[in-house]
Structure 1
Amino acid sequence: MFTTRPVLTGTFGMVASTHWLASAVGMRTLEAGGNAFDAAAAAGFTLSVVEPHLNGPGGDAPLLGHRAADGHTFVVCGQGVVPALATTDAYRALGVEEVPGTGHLAAVVPGAFGAWLDLLARYGTLPLADVLGPAIGYARDGYPLVAAGARTVATVADMFRAHWPTSAQVYLPGGAAPTAGDRFRNPDLARTFERLLAEAAAAGPDREAQIEGARRAFYEGFVAEAVDAFVAGTPVLDATGRAHTGFLRGADLAAWHATEEPTVAVPFAGVEVHKTGPWGQGPVLLQQLRMLEALGVEDLVRDVVARPGREAEDDGPLAELVHVVVEVAKLAFADRDAWYGDSGDVPLDALLSTAYAARRARLVGAGADDGYRPGDPDGRAPRLPRALVAARAAADAGGPGAVAPAPAGLGEPTVSRIGLSPGDTCHVDVVDRWGNQVSATPSGGWLQSSPVVPGLGFALPTRAQMCWVEDGLPASLVPGRRPRTTLSPAMVLGSGHGFAFGTPGGDQQDQWPVPFLLRHLLGGMDLQAAIDAPTWHSSHVHGSFQPRTHTPRGVAVESRLGTGVAGALAARGHAVEDAGPWTLGRLSAAGVGPDGWLRAAANARGQQGYAAGR
């Protein structure tokens, strides 16, 4: 099969990410003697500078790590929690029944910076100054602004000028929006990082003490003080059409710390696939794999992979594969919306059991189902949020809930709908010469969703919009809980081998990897070929971000799947959307093969992702 680039193969180390500068910085860190954990943090800090429309140091960052020496596999949770003052009653007192997608009311504790520091303190080896240095250089001296970043600034430029002056000061230098390829600088962010390093150095010569010094300066010192003063004291326009102050306070930052916890995993195709817990949507991928296994998808995948280049004339096995994967996704995501959250009462073992998967898989029929069917994994009746039920009813009736365009800056800029901004998040995968691996999906703190905190150079995360202003749900708005995030790093592990992988894409972060895993683990495609192969996703699934749109029976497909496949899907009742030839998914992967070689691959879509290694 044609591939856009080779699978990188070597013995020293590999970094793959959604931006070439982050991959280069990660590789530089490995060359300087760092391990995978150092390299991932350096790449992550760099991403927070060079892709401000997709993430920031004040955003969110769940990480998966694997330490090869003892097989320890873990999650570092960099998803910040709902503020103490942000109760459902407090929102209702403002006349707000749904958390808006922008502004102060959606702000949660910034988790990304703390997560990277926690990873470095526990597993890294290099001084913080070495790891943070490249990000400071790009913020101070400039970097080439990618086209998507320039387009994003242009969409919100008028709003910045009229309502968010702190953002205008950073992103409209000289009063004008930057253009693609401009050397863009963020001096305030560079100074913030430099001050954090100065606070770290003042904590003493010990490496761990310095990392803790930087953490305290961020979460208990000058950063927390600036956040508190801005959110409490400056009303800003948000997606409600009104200006509000927010609920986030310095005390919320001081009380929070990144945590380490076990991964959740299921066996599939002779390996284990690892994800975060159900405070994120990660287990929804595992549910899909369980159901596909129950449906005996292996033979179908091998038949499809054995017929390369025949997609345009093949409306048989490939169309059947797409149909089955889409129908399974509908069932798994309905369970996500009914059961997932940070409530501590998620029936995860039942959701991931083979018996439940077999029972759910029997619901997959020959045609496209137009319902939304959460199951009852532990015998309890599922409960969907009232607002979601209402939005679904409006969409099914062809009303305004179906495909309403979002106002500038609203929600998460994802590829869940054709025509919206390409990309929403970042991703990085690293493997080092010792076999350590990291998969990380930093996001949030988008420039278009929250105003820049004065003097800091970065915005706050708006992840509270994923919570329901309705009591008694697993994903209800509850102080101290993590919003049920879409961020979903992943890892495959076997006996002495495996790979880190993932993609940006909001709700699609656990859809696009399914064809990738099927083609690689069952079909024998190499990592790059599996990434490059044409893909698809269900848009029947509800969006997690305002305005939470969906398309009844919708399936977005890359046109390279072929007109025969698209026609066969339409004949089954799917509402097929042609997304163009190279538009869906921004997967990357890096790991150790069964033969001991280190390998990495990255996505060509969007012309940003690269792998580096030797």
Structure 2
Amino acid sequence: MSAPTHQALLDGARTPTRPTLTGSFGMAAATHWLAAGSAQSVLERGGNAFDAAVCAGFVLHAVEPHLNGPGGDLVGIVAPAGARPRVLDGQGPAPRGASPQRFRAEGLDVVPGSGALAAAVPHGLDALLLLLLEHGTWELEAVLEPALHYLEVGAAAGAQLVAVIGSVREHFATHWPSSAALWTPRGEAPEVGDLVRNPTYAATLRRLVAAGHGQGGATGGGGREERIEAARSELRTGFVARAVVEHCLRPHRHATGGDHRGLLTAADMADIAATFDDCVGLEFRGVQVWKAGLWTQGPVLLQALAILDHVGDEQLDLATAVGVHTVTEALKLAMADRDAYYGDAAPAATLEVLLSPDHARERARLIADEASHELRPSRVAGLVPYVPPAPRSTPGVPDVVGAAGVGEPTVSRNGVTRGDTCHVDVVDRWGNLVSLTPSGGWLQSSPAIEELGFCLGTRLQMTWLDPSSPSRLEPGRRPRTTLSPTVLGVDGTPFSALGTPGGDQQDQWQLLYLLRTIVGGLRPQAAIDAPAFHTTSIVGSFWPRTWEPGGLVVENRLGADVIAELRARGHRVTESDGWSLGRLSTVGRDPRTGLLYAAANPRGDQGYAVGR
């Protein structure tokens, strides 16, 4: 690794907010301390990293219900000791009845941002069960114990959860009474520190456990694997599936302002089946970076690294305007290709072209001294790049592509954190690594399913109704998700897991971390703490599909001189609060010493790492 090229690289990170934790037993990091602590408790009692991650995943349902839920999605990367990493695919496809024609018959030219009409087949919960089945060692009821405690006894509401419930309280009362009964039982949003419970979802989990023991009419019994499979069957054809289908038959208010039914049927629910998939990867400065494929935005990180591999280290100093500018321009190029070529319908060979050294070198040559305000996708032989519809301009605000809706409650265009998704990383003493990014099924996504205590997700809003798009809406195809965990390796051996919430920003913020550690030589916690930034000169994945040509959001502690030079280069800079961008966490095993380490983001006051 090269030494930092500029002393200012350490500004804001010389004295980290917390130490990078080190130890030799096990480490967990997550976007909420209760998830990290619960994962560590599993490690302490003999569970492996996968048992711990599943436990944390269920705890996140309880403590961050505005950021993820069992009716949503999950993308993970698992790296068992001694094996190559694999993708855990918990992103469900569009239902059989989801087609552009169906949405236009509903009077819509876009997929709405809220309501069950936008729900993909819910695979997130099944992904946790599959991970426990294939790589865990514990019984389902054991890993659920912490989540059941917080669902039944309660967890203290944080400021973000309180704000989200407060913002939708009137909507719940007027249009979604099942959600009002669950989240505002006294007619008001909770206050910070109030205990928030969800006994209905707890009862759902207990019924899944009971199914594994042959109760409630299920055919459970047998060994551990049979008991977990019995729980999975309830998602497909049992009480969970029946409740979801009945819920979708009832019209309810959507982001369109109209009432619609959901599209999920019994046949769709019967298809629930999370799977494992191959990773795609790239080597950058001697480090292997593994991601999920073109059905996610994960290859954006690989493309940006491939481009920056043709740039000298002195241009990658992220405390300088040159460094911020260079990285921002590389991200714009990679993101333009995301919209042009990524999606479940994309030919696999496309990525070979986009990641090839010659192609990346040509893309690097497009980085000029001035900020680009254009979408500049690559040219791939035999393919026509998809160009999103022309944006609708409104003076004084970012351009809007298509029609407005209620999208992912992610970081806003001015950098104010609203929350969006969750993340958890675990490494154990045996060398197992796992990185999970659960999302969707937010309490504000669609009405709560009264019998189950959770709602459906809205991931279909990320699809286009244009049949020429590689991420078009099509029955049986996955929407191109922004969920994007990462695993790193050296000489083919995985050594680190990381990720962050943030929608379109997930791979942008992860790129900053990689450059600061691999090129800049910073320790993990210092790299996380250092000033963050991201480009908004991209078409947003969530409605209202805004984009801001030349837009760049920066934490103001990047420095007045740096910000002034960025503006002089043509970037439309929005200054955000100094500690507002990103919620990245990471764990790993130092390839040189074998010591375990962990770090988590202090922004938002919820992310923590634990371990020993």
Q: TM-score, structure 1 length as denominator?
A: 0.94
User: What corresponds to 1:300 in structure 2?
Assistant: 315
State the Cα distance separating 1:360 from its structure 2 match.
1.0
Alignment of 1:539-550 (within 5 A): 539-550=536-547
State the Cα distance separating 1:593 from its structure 2 match.
0.5
Instruction: Say which of 589, 596, 599 aligns to 1:598.
Output: 596
**Contact 2:416–2:576 (8 Å) recurs in 1:** no
User: What corresponds to 1:100 in structure 2?
Assistant: 112
Instruction: Say which of 122, 127, 138 aligns to 1:110.
Output: 122
User: What corresponds to 2:408 in structure 1?
Assistant: 412
Instruction: Say which of 311, 328, 333 aligns to 2:335.
Output: 333
1:585 counterpart = 2:582: yes
The one-letter code of the counterpart of 1:358 is: R
Q: Secondary structure of the equivalent of 1:422?
A: coil
CA displacement 1:543-576 (0-9 Å, x = unmatched): 1000011222010001111000000000000000
1:451 counterpart = 2:447: yes
Alignment of 1:362-377 (within 5 A): 362-377=365-380
Q: Secondary structure of the equivalent of 2:34?
A: helix
User: What corresponds to 2:421 in structure 1?
Assistant: 425
CA displacement 1:109-139 (0-9 Å, x = unmatched): 1111100111111110011111111111111
**Contact 2:79–2:494 (8 Å) recurs in 1:** no
Distance across 2 between alignment mates of 1:557 and 1:419: 8
**Contact 2:235–2:272 (8 Å) recurs in 1:** no
State the Cα distance separating 1:329 from its structure 2 match.
0.7
State the Cα distance separating 1:382 from its structure 2 match.
1.2
Q: Secondary structure of the equivalent of 1:14?
A: strand
User: What corresponds to 1:269 in structure 2?
Assistant: 285
1:471 counterpart = 2:467: yes
**Contact 1:413–1:420 (8 Å) recurs in 2:** no
State the Cα distance separating 1:419 from its structure 2 match.
5.8
Distance across 2 between alignment mates of 1:545 and 1:431: 32
State the Cα distance separating 1:20 from its structure 2 match.
0.2
Indicate the larger mover: 250-259 or 527-536: 250-259
**Contact 1:427–1:442 (8 Å) recurs in 2:** yes
Q: TM-score, structure 2 length as denominator?
A: 0.94
User: What corresponds to 1:145 in structure 2?
Assistant: 157
User: What corresponds to 2:564 in structure 1?
Assistant: 567
**Contact 2:116–2:457 (8 Å) recurs in 1:** no
State the Cα distance separating 1:49 from its structure 2 match.
1.2
**Contact 1:520–1:530 (8 Å) recurs in 2:** yes
Distance across 2 between alignment mates of 1:119 and 1:539: 35
Distance across 2 between alignment mates of 1:76 and 1:342: 16
User: What corresponds to 2:253 in structure 1?
Assistant: 237
Q: Secondary structure of the equivalent of 1:284?
A: helix
**Contact 1:108–1:461 (8 Å) recurs in 2:** yes
User: What corresponds to 1:488 in structure 2?
Assistant: 484
Distance across 2 between alignment mates of 1:527 and 1:400: 36
| Alpha-carbon RMSD | 1.7
Distance across 1 between alignment mates of 2:400 and 2:352: 35
Indicate the larger mover: 483-492 or 465-474: 465-474
User: What corresponds to 1:440 in structure 2?
Assistant: 436
State the Cα distance separating 1:390 from its structure 2 match.
2.0
Q: Secondary structure of the equivalent of 1:83?
A: coil
Instruction: Say which of 164, 184, 196 aligns to 2:196.
Output: 184
1:173 counterpart = 2:177: no
User: What corresponds to 2:519 in structure 1?
Assistant: 522
Distance across 1 between alignment mates of 2:381 and 2:513: 31
The one-letter code of the counterpart of 1:348 is: L
CA displacement 1:19-73 (0-9 Å, x = unmatched): 00000000001111110111110001100111010000111001100011x3231
* Structure 1 runs (4+) greater than 6 angstroms displaced: none
Identity rate, percent: 50
Instruction: Say which of 306, 313, 329 aligns to 1:290.
Output: 306
Distance across 2 between alignment mates of 1:174 and 1:560: 42
State the Cα distance separating 1:400 from its structure 2 match.
6.8
**Contact 2:416–2:580 (8 Å) recurs in 1:** no
Distance across 2 between alignment mates of 1:586 and 1:506: 11
Distance across 1 between alignment mates of 2:55 and 2:140: 9
Q: Secondary structure of the equivalent of 1:273?
A: strand
1:59 counterpart = 2:72: yes
Distance across 2 between alignment mates of 1:221 and 1:470: 35
Q: Secondary structure of the equivalent of 1:101?
A: coil
**Contact 1:50–1:143 (8 Å) recurs in 2:** yes
User: What corresponds to 1:378 in structure 2?
Assistant: 381
Q: Secondary structure of the equivalent of 1:371?
A: coil
How many residue pairs match? The answer is 591
State the Cα distance separating 1:248 from its structure 2 match.
1.1
CA displacement 1:200-227 (0-9 Å, x = unmatched): 1221141100110110012210011000
CA displacement 1:410-439 (0-9 Å, x = unmatched): 110111412655220000000000111001
State the Cα distance separating 1:378 from its structure 2 match.
3.2
Structure-2 change in CA distance of 1:497 and 1:221 (3 Å): closer
**Contact 2:169–2:184 (8 Å) recurs in 1:** yes
Alignment of 1:210-249 (within 5 A): 210-232=227-249, 234-249=250-265
Instruction: Say which of 34, 51, 61 aligns to 2:47.
Output: 34
Instruction: Say which of 350, 359, 363 aligns to 1:360.
Output: 363
State the Cα distance separating 1:236 from its structure 2 match.
0.8
CA displacement 1:569-605 (0-9 Å, x = unmatched): 0000000000110001110000100210000000000
State the Cα distance separating 1:361 from its structure 2 match.
1.0
User: What corresponds to 1:390 in structure 2?
Assistant: 390
Distance across 1 between alignment mates of 2:416 and 2:33: 23
**Contact 1:11–1:598 (8 Å) recurs in 2:** yes
**Contact 1:416–1:506 (8 Å) recurs in 2:** no
The one-letter code of the counterpart of 1:299 is: E
Q: Secondary structure of the equivalent of 2:598?
A: strand
Distance across 1 between alignment mates of 2:550 and 2:166: 33
State the Cα distance separating 1:369 from its structure 2 match.
0.7
Q: Secondary structure of the equivalent of 1:426?
A: coil
The one-letter code of the counterpart of 1:229 is: E
Structure 1 unaligned runs (5+)?
Answer: 306-310, 312-317
Q: Secondary structure of the equivalent of 1:512?
A: helix
The one-letter code of the counterpart of 1:38 is: D
The one-letter code of the counterpart of 1:223 is: V
**Contact 2:30–2:585 (8 Å) recurs in 1:** yes
Distance across 2 between alignment mates of 1:570 and 1:587: 27
Distance across 2 between alignment mates of 1:463 and 1:184: 26
The one-letter code of the counterpart of 1:558 is: E
